[in-house]
Amino acid sequence: MSKKLFLLDAYALIYRSYFAFANNPRVNSKGLNTSAVFGFTNTLLEIIRKEQPSHIAVVFDTDAPTQRHTDFSEYKANRQEMPEDLAIAIPYCYKLLEALNIATLESDGYEADDVIGTLAKKAEKNGFITYMMTPDKDYGQLVSQHIFIYKPGYKGGPPEKLGVTEICNKYGITAPEQVIDILGLMGDSVDNIPGIAGIGEKTATALIQEFGSIDNLIANTAKLKGKLKEKVEAGKEQALFSRKLATILLDAPVDFDEEELRLKDPDKEKVKSLFTELEFRRLAQTILGEELPVGEHATETGPIAIGPAGPSRKTKPGQIDIFGHTGAAAAEEDTAVAETTTFATIENTTHTYHIADTPEKRLDLVKLLASRNEFCFDTETTGLDTLTAELVGLSFSWSKNEGWYVPVPPDRMLTQAIVDEFKPVFADTGIAKTGQNLKYDIGILKNYGVDVNGVLFDTMIAHYLLQPDMRHGMDLLAETYLKYSPVSIETLIGKKGKNQITMRDVPLGKIAEYAAEDADVTAQLRMVFEPQLLESNAKKLFDEIEMPLVPVLSDMEREGIAIDTAVLKKYSVQLEGEIVMLEKEIQEMAGTPFNVSSPRQVGDVLFEILKISDKPKKTKTGQYATGEDILQKLVNKHPIVAKILEHREAQKLKGTYVDTLPEMVNPNTGRIHTYFNQVVAATGRLSSDNPNLQNIPIRSAKGREIRKAFIPRDKNHVLLSSDYSQIELRIVASISGDPAMCEAFRSGIDIHTATAARVFNVAPEDVTKEMRYKAKSVNFGIIYGQGAFGLAENIGVSRSEAKELIENYFREYAGIKNYMDETVNFAREYGYVQTICGRRRYLRDINSANAVVRGFAERNAINAPIQGSAADMIKLAMIRVHAELKKNKFRTRLLLQVHDELVFDVPVDEVEKVKPIIEEAMKNALPMNVPIEVGIGTGLNWLDAH
């Protein structure tokens, strides 16, 4: 085997892992942010699996000052304080490396760069191929015939391996060492290396391409002209000093010990102990070849798939794990490890689970249920789609460690007869019902004509209110709050794939234990969560908004919405023609044929051929960035940009909606049935899946065309759309109490015109279209915590003009500035903010010493009460409208909730009757200090109605 050494720059990779999850941190059940450790673990396993190094080490910086700090006190002085969550994660990264038996190296007085450089050169002399794993461009100076940079992939993309050829081609130089000279001229803002003032990467590279080195450049400044000559001559000492700072040292006092660096077997007991603490279930299987004690819901997303794995907790005989072990070898070690399980299980817990599989036993059970004022239930089914899944059995529990299971046969009529026996207790409004994800169970029972009445308690939703940023699967909740690991569903039906069976194929004894345990565990979770809801003042929100919403959403999902597939097919043909035509126009503008769908080729055309930007941004993989946000800012630079954006939109609409929606029509109902997620968005907003109807664009003409395909059920119905107008601005006006903004809404003047008049100090009638646009951007930007930089980027003005706009805005709307300051201060003191209804958003980073992390939390603090109150408001409106429609026996049905809009299917003869009911429910859902406006329209399709 060839000697292949990987040297990893620890902090560069750990920081990268942490910030990769900045928008959606991974937090385990103990409140520990595991983002950095999780990402770092994945990085290590990816390297071991794909690259199979013979030797590996992870190199850390130390706190001791280096010679660079001695020579230049400002070296790295502009670095932000390490985020607290990241500081807490570092010891876990050390523990991880210890458990994996991977060498860690560091040297006081030297940076990780120096240690890696020293080892790489020593390894080269010892016949090694070395890969320095880092995103840092400084390492380019070290590459040689046997030393490479290994840049991790960006957003799931492939990694880059950079050798002499790649580095030289990248900078247009003849030797990798010249990277040091380029860095000396341009400096490095990350490390606070000054370079020559006014010289950036492009100029620095051109100078070294021409002169070869800083020394030769200084000796030949006479060949330079104008300002550039002045800059170089004035900054030559700075350049030489900066080059010294940027030079990676190759004499760090570290020994090259082949045996120490050799990739060794992991310490499985340490791995299991650490991963149990961190709750890395699936990653444990990657390393151990066995699962940690957990059920069907793991806490990781996007685990690395290492190889085939069956339902067994141990590696199969002959299966090879990432360290080259076969299952036979791993099995002996795993036996000892398995004994360290810390969770109770069905095997070691005394329990009594009954099977009610005769008419007599079912009658006894029904009598017991009827005598209760509350019970917990669960359904076992053949699938996950409530419209097509068939019932396999019912389970019940009301006492700890006791439960009942009622099997039902495949025959539909026989099943219906059994379900009918339980119909009265489900329908009894005096008996409260508990469940986990009750909306699913309610939907299944509706297939058999059963209504679930009474006060509902959903443990999944309860936990969502208590810990909105965590996951809410029953198995995770059981482990976290009950220290109990339920039976994994995969032990019953196997893993996903062609060999997976359905619950109907599971032997009665096994499914009875599994199902009764589900009901038992869920009942126990209720006992934990109910007092916590009271303690956190979330019980009212739970009882009056979230739980009453469950049957509303269930009815909406069941109702679905009709679509006109012919309209979509016709539009697909139209879009295809437009896409072809746009490709032709774009290639003509470019003057060369290229793949318009390739981001890399688009970047090359825009920035290499057309040169529409002097300083194009690049992705971490080195290609030009051509994302929508980048291209939007370049629209005025060249007409080709608008065409590229139009082409992308057409492709996306065609692939995501126009061609896909017809395939999602339910064959039994002829309608599309989306699934509404109640526990996903931490703000309280609903989301929808399969299909996601909330992401259909409404601002573009092409996107709006898709809404034409959504139609009423028949010619005797119309679609009715009821939409809140500027609801978030009205909410911020109301909760801030700002007199100027409240008065604008009360007087009925256009809020953006009123804002423009105040900010630009003109009369409302003198407000121009451009003024109104800028004021609108400020209005909406402020409630998302947008600063001058973001506003400048958004509306295409200078940062100073954006700063002045914001200052003027706060001068005119001082109440909003006070609200923002008070909200952030409240968050700093209590660790959360809340909506009008008491929905909390916890902000663990609000007091972070790291400005970037703290700023993100502050923006959430400002926005969460506004966005969350809007979410609560429309939920209350949905509950009230739904109740009124039922109470008055209207045939009108609520079909969709999309952001601030509700869509109804309405019989023509009911339109005028239901309009005032819908409007009243929406306007008065929450008391406000400003008028709430609701726009209502009807039509023969969704677009016309809106």
Query: What is the per-residue pLDDT for 285?
Result: 66
pLDDT average, residue stretch 243-265 = 87
Closest by CA position to 107, among listed 58, 56, 57, 62: 62
Closest by CA position to 133, among listed 121, 118, 148, 146: 148
Residue 118 vs residues 61, 251, 252: alpha-carbon distances, Å: 14, 6, 6
| Residues whose CB falls within 8 Å of the CB of residue 496, separated by 6 or more in sequence, listed in order | none
pLDDT digits (tens, 9 = 90+) for 152-190: 776 556 788 888 998 898 888 888 888 888 888 887 766
**Which pLDDT band, with edges at 50, 70 and 90, does 290 fall under?**
low
Query: What is the per-residue pLDDT for 325?
Result: 41
Q: Residue 312 above 60 pLDDT? A: no
Q: Which carries the bigger pLDDT value, residue 153 or residue 255?
A: 255
pLDDT average, residue stretch 467-494 = 86
Q: Residue 936 above 80 pLDDT? A: yes
**Which pLDDT band, with edges at 50, 70 and 90, does 726 fall under?**
very high
Query: What is the per-residue pLDDT for 728?
Result: 93
Tokens of 482: 């009950």
pLDDT average, residue stretch 458-464 = 96
Contact (CB, 8 A) for 878 and 698? no
Separation CA 626–CA 630 (nearest Å)? 6
Question: Within 10 A of 625 (CB to CB), how many other CB atoms are there?
Answer: 16
**Which pLDDT band, with edges at 50, 70 and 90, does 229 fall under?**
confident
Tokens of 258: 């082949």
Q: What are phi and psi of 73, to 5 degrees?
A: -60, -25
Query: What is the per-residue pLDDT for 148?
Result: 92
Average pLDDT of the residues of the chain: 86
Q: Which carries the bigger pLDDT value, residue 207 or residue 1?
A: 207
Contact (CB, 8 A) for 397 and 522? yes
Kindly provide the b/e burial profile for residues 724-740, where b requires at least 16 CB atoms within 10 angstroms of the residue's own CB: bebbbbbbbbbbbebee
Q: Residue 314 above 60 pLDDT? A: no
Query: What is the per-residue pLDDT for 738?
Result: 92
pLDDT average, residue stretch 783-790 = 79
Q: Residue 339 above 70 pLDDT? A: no
% of residues, the chain, pLDDT over 70: 91
Burial tier of 361 (Cβ tally within 10 Å: 0-12, 13-18, 19+): middle
pLDDT average, residue stretch 591-612 = 90
For 619-671, give the DSSP string. Answer: -TTSSBP--HHHHHHTTTT-HHHHHHHHHHHHHHHIIIIITTGGGGS-TTTSE
Query: What is the per-residue pLDDT for 302?
Result: 32
pLDDT average, residue stretch 809-834 = 92
HSE of 88, CA atoms in CB hemisphere, 13 A: 12
**Which pLDDT band, with edges at 50, 70 and 90, does 327 fall under?**
very low
Q: Kindly report the three-state secondary structure assignment for every residue of 668-722.
A: CCCEECCEEECCCCCCCCCEEECCCHHHCCCCCHHHHHHHCCEECCCCCEEEEEE
Highest mean pLDDT pick, 131-145, 467-481, 840-854, 892-906: 892-906
* Bridge partners of residue 724, in order along the sequence: 934
Sequence letter at residue 213: S
Q: Residue 470 above 50 pLDDT? A: yes
Q: Residue 317 above 80 pLDDT? A: no
Query: What is the per-residue pLDDT for 190?
Result: 64
Q: Residue 732 above 90 pLDDT? A: yes
Q: Residue 1 above 60 pLDDT? A: no
| End-to-end Cα, the chain, rounded Å | 67
Q: How far is CA 500 from the centre of its chain?
A: 29
pLDDT average, residue stretch 397-422 = 96
Q: Residue 307 above 50 pLDDT? A: no
Q: Residue 309 above 70 pLDDT? A: no
% of residues, the chain, pLDDT over 90: 47
Sequence letter at residue 677: N
* Bridge partners of residue 893, in order along the sequence: 905
| Residues whose CB falls within 8 Å of the CB of residue 560, separated by 6 or more in sequence, listed in order | 666, 669, 671, 672, 673, 674, 895
Separation CA 393–CA 661 (nearest Å)? 33
Of 162-166, 238-242, 404-408, 643-647, the one with minimum mean pLDDT is 238-242
Q: What are phi and psi of 156, to 5 degrees?
A: 85, 0
Query: What is the per-residue pLDDT for 353?
Result: 95
pLDDT average, residue stretch 677-699 = 89
Q: Residue 395 above 70 pLDDT? A: yes
Query: What is the per-residue pLDDT for 289?
Result: 61
Counting DSSP H helices and E strands in the chain, the numbers are 38, 23
Query: What is the per-residue pLDDT for 77?
Result: 52
Contact (CB, 8 A) for 470 and 482? no
Query: What is the per-residue pLDDT for 316?
Result: 31
Residue 565 DSSP one-character state? H
Tokens of 151: 């840049």
pLDDT average, residue stretch 513-536 = 95
Q: Residue 323 above 50 pLDDT? A: no
**Which pLDDT band, with edges at 50, 70 and 90, does 833 fall under?**
very high
Q: Residue 110 above 60 pLDDT? A: yes
